[in-house]
Amino acid sequence: MLVEADDAWRRGIRPEPPITVSEWADRNRVLPTTSAEPGRWRTSRTPYLRAVMDALSASSPYERVVLMKGAQTGGTEAGLNWLGYIIHNAPGIVMMVQPSLDMVRRNTTVRIDPLIEATPSLRDLVAPPRSRDAGNSLFRKSFPGGQLVMTGANSPVGLRSTPVRYLFLDEVDGYPGDADGEGDPVDLAIQRTATFRGRRKIFMVSTPTLKGYSRIEAAFAESDQRYFHVPCLACGDMAPITWARIRWPDGKRDQAHLVCEACGGIHHEHDKTRLLEAGEWRATQPGDGRTAGFHLSALYSPWETWAEIAIEHGRVMKDPPRLQVWVNTRLGESWEDQAGDTVPADPLMARREDWGEDLPAGVAVLTAGVDVQGDRIEVQVVGWGRDEEAWVIDYRVLWGDPSGPRLWSDLDHYLRTTFVHPHAVPDLPVRAVCVDTGGHHTKMAYEFCRTRLARRVWAIKGRGGPGVPVWPRRPTRTNKGKIPLFVVGVDAVKDAVYARLKLTEPGPGAIHFPRRLDAEYFRQLTAERVVTRFERGRPIRSWQPKRDGERNEALDTFVYAHAALHGLISMALRLNEEAEAALAAGRKGETPVTKPASAPVIRSAWLQRNA
């Protein structure tokens, strides 16, 4: 026992060998069988990551390394290589921060445990996971000379833990703006490294989000801002691979290629390996001398072709919310906020359409949003087609007392309504419903949803703020665990809705309104705007009413119906395939029967009591 303790002590005080992270990875890292390319790690596969990893090495003069990236670039694997390097070669206390505790649990299972189990040099240093072993758990991995502590940015307790030499801030743009009232989670985490100033290493990595609010973009702006330049194989001119240099002939996106701006030379996908091998990082700003900043887009990825990226761009280019995702994840660039401007109600009302009593032919799926008020329940049914093109099918106000069963019975009766589709047999039902439980009569709302889970009537609670997904990976539990509660990222949905309200032509993301909706509906739909306030010097973006006391039930119920669609998508709904099937039925000769619009106008009082 004394010999083992002595060996551990000696390993802890020995000088760190002069080896870089990339060298360690090439010698030791083994990718698990669940990886896209299992087996020995090869930095030569992604040569642009060598400088990123080596800036994290013990011998590097940089204290902070910033990687603003697109998807499928290998950035996360570079971070895992760094963790392996620390455990095996430069032990110390390291903290890894994920956007939430739930993501910590998932990341440990999917990435950290496979990293340790698949790499022989790490396997013997970390105790095998056991339920009673405090040295190896979902949130802590102990090894000789140090330990890996993993926490969520939403956990101030975890961020206040022991001082750390190494800090891995993963997906920082997904962090909440405030850690439970105790301040910015990035600042709280960096404070843990203060005692190691001069020897610390901080790795910040993320895909960016909104311009002006993106943490990773702000950190990159403080760095030396490096871009990976590759040579033209014809003239040798060095330049980054940018979207402006990707071209294709006559709309044939599947033939996308890279063009040299200096000589017009064309480079095809099979040239990418040679380009990357001959590439080099070049700083574009002086920086502070302690921060190395790297920008990587998916255009460099060996796992995605320029044609695939171009084809995806063609699918999303007319739909701002999906185009934002493409810009963030493919180009690794921030998105200019398009939802911040107010949307006027009158132009939307002028776009109302007549489509008769039947559903429009493009509708494939119906969802509903339910908002509970003190003397009524309001319901909106939305139809969804290809690429989330939307039609407002119906809006109802059910008057009554939500504390009693009769009004909920009326709601249940309405939600069982089926709608006539010109090409669908039988008629379309409402496939999923989101009921807001965060306002009036919460217990009654819970009970209503509990007995209707099989019909996908879901209890939800809206949550604002950055980093909250539209639909959670799994629900929380309420009422002693009996009822699943889905936390919906309402800000993300409102961003999408307001951006899409500006689309004036039919197509992806467009929203259509029936003639029977009146001015009150459109005032409520456009009742909010984005407000930016500053807390501790950091901009915080939130949705607020344009005027105090403004009613917004039309917006809320649309948001909930939108969230219900994402709930179905999380259950493997293939919206585009169902929309294509409905349209194909029409093309086979099933001519829709158009009926005159005879439904009554929904007045500002919505419906008469007892109607």
Percent of the chain clearing pLDDT 70 (strictly above): 89
Query: In the prediction, which pLDDT does 339 show?
Result: 60
Domain 1-221 is in which class?
Answer: alpha beta
pLDDT confidence tier of residue 597, bands split at 50, 70 and 90: very low
Exposure string over 108-142, b if 16+ CB within 10 A, otherwise e: beebbbbbbebbebbeebbeebeeeeeebebbbbb
Residues 6+ apart with CB under 8 A from 259: 245, 246, 247, 265, 266, 267
Least confident of 24-28, 142-146, 350-354, 467-471: 467-471
* Higher-scoring residue by pLDDT: 423, 165: 165
Each residue's pLDDT tens digit, 59-92: 999 999 999 999 989 999 999 999 999 999 999 9
Question: Which whole-number Å values give the CA distances from 299 to 302, 308, 324, 546, in the listed order?
Answer: 9, 10, 16, 41
Correct CATH for 345-587 of 3.40.1000, 1.10.260, 1.10.3470, 3.30.420 = 3.30.420
Strand duo 201-206 + 64-69: pairing: parallel
Which DSSP string corresponds to 239-260?
A: EE--GGGEE-GGG-GGG-EEE-
Determine how many CB atoms are found less than 10 A away from the CB of residue 583: 15
Q: Using the structure block, give the residue that is written with the tokens 């090869």.
A: 42
Arithmetic mean of pLDDT, 492-517: 93
Residue with more model confidence, 93 or 336 = 93
Asked if omega into 475 is within 30° of 0 (cis), the reply is no
Whether pTM exceeds 0.75? yes
Whole-number Cα distances in Å, 483 to 181, 445, 478: 28, 11, 5
Kindly indicate the confidence band of residue 545, based on its pLDDT and cuts at 50, 70 and 90.
confident
Q: Which two tokens stand for residue 529?
A: 């705007």
User: How is the chain split into domains, by residue range?
Assistant: 1-221, 229-317, 345-587
φ, ψ at 432 (rounded to 5°): -155, 150
The dihedrals phi and psi of 262, each to the nearest 5 degrees, come to -85, -45
Residue with tokens 């993301």: 509
